[in-house]
Structure formats: C-alpha cells, structure tokens
Chains A and B, each alone.
Chain A
Amino acid sequence: ETGVTQSPTHLIKTRGQQVTLRCSSQSGHNTVSWYQQALGQGPQFIFQYYREEENGRGNFPPRFSGLQFPNYSSELNVNALELDDSALYLCASSLAGSVYGYTFGSGTRLTVV
C-alpha cells in the first residue's frame, strides 16, 4: 500500500504571497489532517477534512484554507504569507478520524522571506 505523499518537499516564498501545498492520502484512508510544526516544537493542528468537508479546525486564521477531493487527496492553501508561517507542514491521513492513529507524510518545508 502507498503511504502519504506530500509535494513539494521544500518551498521558499516571499511575505504576502500565496502558497498551495498538496497531499495524497494513504490508500483506503478517507480523512486528511494538516499540521504546522515550527522548528523545535510539536505539531499544531490546522484542520481536518472528512469526505470533502472540513471536520474540525485548530486555532489558525481564515487565511489558512483547504480542500479535499473525491479521491481523498487534499490541498492546504495559505494566503498573505507571514514570516511566522515558516514551518514544516505535515499532512496525515487516517480512517474514520483519529482513533486509530495517523499516517504522516514527510512534510513540506516552507520558508517565508
């Protein structure tokens, strides 16, 4: 079975720009969650998508938005980038929510300059 794939692996953007990060979920998983991990910290929950609908959101502003597609892949969009948005963005897929644990991708390292 394929795991979770994220693209791109690294990205450099300028403050004020917009960025789209992509994630392909593990085969058979219908739930995708996005996390932001700043350097030296634990992952912080951004939001979760289940069957193409947002199914929970952490303490992130509306300029963080997402989509889930019929094949359960997902996008994370961030508008009006700020320097503090520099982080590792992790996508995780699971089956029927978080009870059974997540499968994480390797992440996208975003640097905002």
Chain B
Amino acid sequence: GNSVTQMEGPVTLSEEAFLTINCTYTATGYPSLFWYVQYPGEGLQLLLKATKADDKGSNKGFEATYRKETTSFHLEKGSVQVSDSAVYFCAVPGNNDMRFGAGTRLTVKP
C-alpha cells in the first residue's frame, strides 16, 4: 500500500537558514501528497498539498514539489523563523486513511 518515508531528524537551524526535510513516497498511481505541521501541544495542521505529479504546493513560505521521477516530496523554506519550530509530517492517502511519516522535529534558534 501507499507509504511515505521521511528524514527523522531532529533538525536544528539558526534563524534565516535554509530548510530541507526529505520525504519519499511509495504509491499506486499518483495520489495527492501532503505536509502537515504540529506545533507543541496542538493537533496537526495542513501545511501544503500537491494533487498531481509536477505540482508545487506552497504556504507560509514553505514549498514542496511532487516529483514522480524521484518519488519525492521534499519540504523547503528559504529562511526559517523561530516560530517555525514544530514537528513536520509528510503524508499520503491510503485506502481509507492518511498515512504519515514518523515526523521531523525542527528547532530554530535565534
């Protein structure tokens, strides 16, 4: 079935540094792909999505491109802020569920 694998981190960056969190997928066909973010003490929030191959999802300065050649959906941000500190999850739909990676904890230091 569909699944995602993401780098687990943790990742620690200084403010204004460039961020990449890797995610690769295994899927039948070309399902939508998602990135969710979880801030401390909260549930998951949809960060961005891409609904077909070669699509780029973007939100709040974050971007991810759905690349079928490399089966990847890496999350990037050009300049991170302290407020971006959170856990990031890559996800792909299964038959009746959403399947998440293990999560990558990002800490941004001033």
A: residues with CB less than 8 A from B are: 4, 6, 33, 40-43, 45, 48, 55-56, 58, 90, 92, 97-107
B: residues with CB less than 8 A from A are: 31-32, 34, 36, 41-46, 49, 89, 93-103
Residues of A within 8 A of B95 (CB): 56
Q: What is the CA–CA distance of A56 and B98 in the complex, to the nearest angstrom?
A: 11
Residues of B within 8 A of A102 (CB): 44, 46, 98
Which chain A residue shows the least CB distance to B42? A106
- In contact, B43 and A98 (Cβ under 8 angstroms): no
- In contact, A45 and B97 (Cβ under 8 angstroms): yes
A sample of 5 more A-B contacts (CB under 8 A), given A41-B103, A101-B46, is A41-B102, A48-B97, A56-B96, A56-B97, A107-B42
Q: What is the CA–CA distance of A65 and B93 in the complex, to the nearest angstrom?
A: 22
Residues of B within 8 A of A42 (CB): 89, 100-103
- Of A4, A6, A48, A104, which contacts B96 at CB under 8 A? A48
